[in-house]
Amino acid sequence: MSTAAAAIELQEKTRAERGKLGFWIYLMTDLMLFAALFATYIVLRQNIADGPSGREFFDMQFVLVETVLLLTSSYLCGLAMLTLRAGNKRTTLGLLLATGLLGAAFLGMEIYEFAHLVHEGYDWTRSAFLSAFFTLVGTHGAHILVGLIWLSVVWIRLMKRGITHQTKHHLGLFSLFWHFLDVVWIFVFTVVYLMGVA
């Protein structure tokens, strides 16, 4: 390897490391955002203003299906990263496509749940509990939407450019983001839904 090529490779690695650090800092700020939303929800969950509580309208079977979809998408995303490292572009693309489809199904179910609640008269203006519920779960859903857009862009880049240092880097960051959203959902499932029907 020539000196110029080695210098370029070192520069790319340095840029990737800085990007990774910056992304971890972003994830920590997102973690603080969700911590604040969880704290707000916990404080307001009993303030139903003579309206319904979660026990009255949470459909745990529906939420369990959502949870399985999102956790399975995270598992497939992890497998995609393994096949990417092994240099298998075709399998990686297939696993990422499956990850995106399951994520889209999850988001579709979340939108359906919100629409159903609003149709039943349980919108975010009805009580402090419902405001906190829609804000917390909706913020997670907005992150899922951003993740799906990001995945689409990275998928197209991988398809066109193949496995490069840059596509590995971008997919690695996406994978961190997607797994982070799964961890947040586990807390949503536990704090909002399981505690809400207990």
Per-residue pLDDT tens digits for 4-31 = 666 666 666 667 677 788 899 999 999 9
Helices (H) and strands (E) in the chain, counts: 7, 0
pLDDT tens digits, 43-68: 999 999 888 898 988 999 999 999 99
In angstroms, rounded to a whole number, what is the distance separating the alpha carbons of residues 41 and 137?
A: 10
Domain ranges for the chain: 61-193
Q: Please, are residues 148 and 100 in contact by the beta-carbon 8 Å criterion? A: yes
C-alpha–C-alpha distance, residues 99 and 20, integer Å? 22
Mean pLDDT value across the chain: 92
User: Per CATH, the architecture of 61-193 is what?
Assistant: Up-down Bundle (1.20)
170 in Cβ contact with 48 (< 8 Å): no
CA angle 192, 176, 82 (to 5 degrees): 120
